[in-house]
Amino acid sequence: MKIQHKYQYVLFDWDGCLADTLSIWMEAYLHFYHEYGVTVTEADVMSKSWGNWEKGPLNLGVKDNIGFINKISKRVIDRRLEVKLHEGVKPVLNKLFESGKKMAIVSSSMRIQVVDPLKKLGLEKFFPIVLSAEDVVNYKPHPEVVEKAMSRLGATNSETIIIGDSGSDVKAGKAAYIKTAIFYPEINHRFYSKEDLKALNPDYFILNFADILG
């Protein structure tokens, strides 16, 4: 992939990409669907609710949409310092940093869910720009967070790539007219279909984080 040669600006998603957090989110979803008396499987959550704050819980019969979302967010926030990185993340970030790449995090999670583990894990120096849910009106797949990060970095479209774990990252990148990459480690197979992700036609499909360096 050799990002260090092709791109000067690298935007990373947090949940499921840099951070191994998808199981934490799934546990929260299943817990509160059960609490609300809704019987669901992981497949139901993924197909009808995952990442869809506006309509997801409603699709599965939860009437108190806002209350449900707030409970999930609080549960994930309470576990934020348990977060671990995917294998190989820190060495790759260090290599990119040492080679002069400018990096930012573009997340749809609350700031506290990103910044606190970022500090604990010693990644602050790599990311002078961290954009989260509080920084935008429109979440991914809308390109707002991508465009805002690029503006702050002084980035050009041709020199920028976004790396994420989901379709919303690819769609946001394409809408902002930059290159896109899906990171699909083995642990994420539980949550996303390889075929579905490849059908989005990302420019790169990465199985190991170290592949970013080629």
| CATH homologous superfamily of 3-21+85-213 | HAD superfamily/HAD-like (3.40.50.1000)
Half-sphere exposure of 126 (CA within 13 A, CB side): 22
- Cα 206 to Cα 214: distance, rounded to the nearest angstrom: 10
Residues 6+ apart with CB under 8 A from 136: 142, 144, 145, 148
- Cα 184 to Cα 155: distance, rounded to the nearest angstrom: 26
Residues 6+ apart with CB under 8 A from 120: 81
pLDDT tens-digit profile, the chain (214 residues): 667 789 999 999 999 999 999 999 999 999 999 999 999 999 999 999 987 877 889 999 999 989 999 999 999 999 999 999 999 999 999 999 999 999 999 999 999 999 999 999 999 999 999 999 999 999 999 999 999 999 999 999 999 999 999 999 999 999 999 999 999 999 999 999 999 999 999 999 999 999 999 8
Give the residue extent of every domain in the chain.
3-21+85-213, 22-81
The two structure tokens encoding residue 4 = 């260090």
The two structure tokens encoding residue 33 = 């669907």
